[in-house]
Chains A and B, each alone.
Chain A
Amino acid sequence: MPAPAATTDEELMLAYAAGDAAAFDALYARHKGGVYRYLLRQCRQGGIADELFQDVWMNLIRARASYAPTAKFTTWLYRLAHNRLVDHYRASAHLTLVSADDEAHEETVAALPGARSDQPQVRAENRELGERLRAAVAALPPAQREAFLLQQEGGLSLAEIADLTGVGIETVKSRLRYGLAKLRGDLVDLDDGLRESLG
């Protein structure tokens, strides 16, 4: 029986921990896209993103019994994703923690893969806008990109991002400010296009 839409994430998770598989389906349907995109934008490779995505949810399944609604479910979920991503970075040894004002990312933007063209949800009319925006996000320093993605995909607040990433709120604000500034600058020439596409 599908869980009602009004049910909170925490209730769904508790229901799933109690043995309700339908609660997991509802929970998964709510958050699968955001987590997947968060991982995809961070690792920049679809195959690795799939693997990390599966690992995140498997970790959630294994940790269901120990789940306690002391915080928002999304915070807990993205913490799992963040930790798995950090493990991936450590394993691949290419984690580059850069400062918020790191500008040495121009050359990597061009090498970034675009959005997966096989996704049916991508609208053809926003293809160019989307590709440029994704390229701009990918070009952000990892810390700024993570803060941006956690805010955009996870819907986390500054405090939650700060708690999840283990930094202060001011640091999160700074990262977001620099990141948005970078994205805004990259998207100036597309300002008119954005306005049109967004209506």
Chain B
Amino acid sequence: MNETERDRRVDAAWSAASREEPPASLDAAIRDAARRAVDAAPRPKRDKHWWYPLAAAATVAVLAVGIIQLTPPEQVAPTIVADMTVAPREANKDVARPVAPADTKIVEPSTPINAAAPPPATPSPPAQASARRAQMAASGSLAGERAEVPTTERDTPKPPLAAKRELAAQDKLAGAKSDAAAANTVASPSAAVPANVAPPRSEPFPAAAAPEPRREAYAEERKPAPNAPAGAAAPQVARPAAAPSEEAQMRSRVAMAKVATTDEAKAKEGSARSVEEWIKRIRDLKNEGRLDEAAKELAAFRNEYGERADALLPADLRAMKAQPAK
């Protein structure tokens, strides 16, 4: 037999004898495995993280809407308006005068700086303040209220978020204090009623006749501290509205000073008049023959002025005997 040739008889016998096949279950298992391998093979499938950008965008949108919904509307506008109020405040700083023209400026909580001399026909300052507050509330802007915040606090640069929160807190505080101040105004008219409004009691002297030193002293009191920021010296009239308790105290002090000044002036005026009147009255009584009454008046005059009485009395009355005052 050729070595390279195959024995045909053996081949045929082997083909007839060897016909074993793998079990059908094994066939099925192998075919399934082949199919699974093909099905699980990597295909040009889309990225399984395709939804990440969409989820991120949706999350951002939801957060934005939520923040907008949760933020009170009055806290949105002031953030912008407050920045806009810086320029006018800076401009008004030069216009602002350190001393108010009269007590009117002191007790007026929110009189604009430009309105240096409000007309007498204008409503009272509390009424103006309340009206303006109502107008600002109607317009949704608290710029006016913001302008009344003490400048030392406002001019300090702060982070935007912190500034927002502080402004919101100041708004609430200012609103509450304004209401308290309004209530205080009603409760104590002597402290809150401005001088351009007629005082409840009849006074012969206007409030403007207050002695100059006291007004200067008050003006000194209102001057900003030397180390205060430049903006702090600007609208001093805005302080009372921002700090009603301070305003109330100041109003009280001013009212007291005004009363004291008025009383002092009245006393001075009364004393000056009484000298003339007393002398005239004593002389009239003496001329009318009512010597007893003239003597009483003279005694009262001497009692009032003491040793100076002789200097004040004319010569004809100086020699007149005075009856002791009752």
Smallest CB separation, A24 vs chain B (Å): 4
State in angstroms the CA–CA spacing of A33 and B252 once bound together. Answer: 116
Instruction: Kindly state the interface size class of chain A when it binds its partner.
Output: 35 or more
B19: interface (CB < 8 Å): yes
Q: Which residues of A contact B14 (CB under 8 A)?
A: 133, 137, 152
Q: Chain B 1-40 against A: per-residue CB contact (8 Å), 1 yes, 0 no?
A: 1011011011111111111111100110111011101110
- Is B34 in contact with A21, judged by CB distance below 8 angstroms? yes
A126: interface (CB < 8 Å): yes
A168: interface (CB < 8 Å): no
A78: interface (CB < 8 Å): no
Interface centre among B11, B15, B26, B38 (most CB of A within 10 A): B38
A28: interface (CB < 8 Å): yes
Q: Which residues of A contact B (CB under 8 A)?
A: 16, 19-21, 24-25, 28, 32-33, 36-37, 40-41, 50, 53-54, 57-58, 61-62, 64, 115-116, 119, 121-123, 126, 129-131, 133-134, 137, 151-153, 158, 173, 176-177, 180, 183-184, 187, 191, 194-195, 197-198
Q: Which residues of B contact A129 (CB under 8 A)?
A: 13, 16-17
Minimal Cβ-Cβ distance residue in A for B29:
A54
Decide if the interface of chain A is mainly helix, strand, loop or mixed: helix
- Is A58 in contact with B12, judged by CB distance below 8 angstroms? no
Minimal Cβ-Cβ distance residue in A for B32:
A21
B228: interface (CB < 8 Å): no
| Chain B residues with a Cβ closer than 8 Å to the other chain, count | 33
Given contacts A19-B38, A54-B30, whether A180 and B21 have CB atoms under 8 Å apart is no
Given contacts A133-B14, A152-B14, whether A36 and B41 have CB atoms under 8 Å apart is no
State in angstroms the CA–CA spacing of A34 and B304 once bound together. Answer: 149
State in angstroms the CA–CA spacing of A195 and B11 once bound together. Answer: 12
Smallest CB separation, A187 vs chain B (Å): 7
Which residues 34-73 of B sit at the A interface, judged by CB distance below 8 A?
34-35, 37-39, 41, 43
Q: Which residues of A contact B21 (CB under 8 A)?
A: 32-33, 36, 119, 121
Instruction: Report 29 cross-chain contacts, Cβ distance below 8 Å, ordered by A residue.
Output: A19-B41, A19-B43, A20-B38, A21-B35, A24-B31, A24-B34, A24-B38, A25-B34, A33-B20, A33-B22, A36-B21, A36-B22, A50-B26, A53-B26, A54-B26, A54-B29, A62-B37, A115-B17, A121-B19, A122-B20, A129-B16, A130-B17, A130-B18, A134-B18, A151-B6, A173-B3, A180-B7, A198-B12, A198-B13
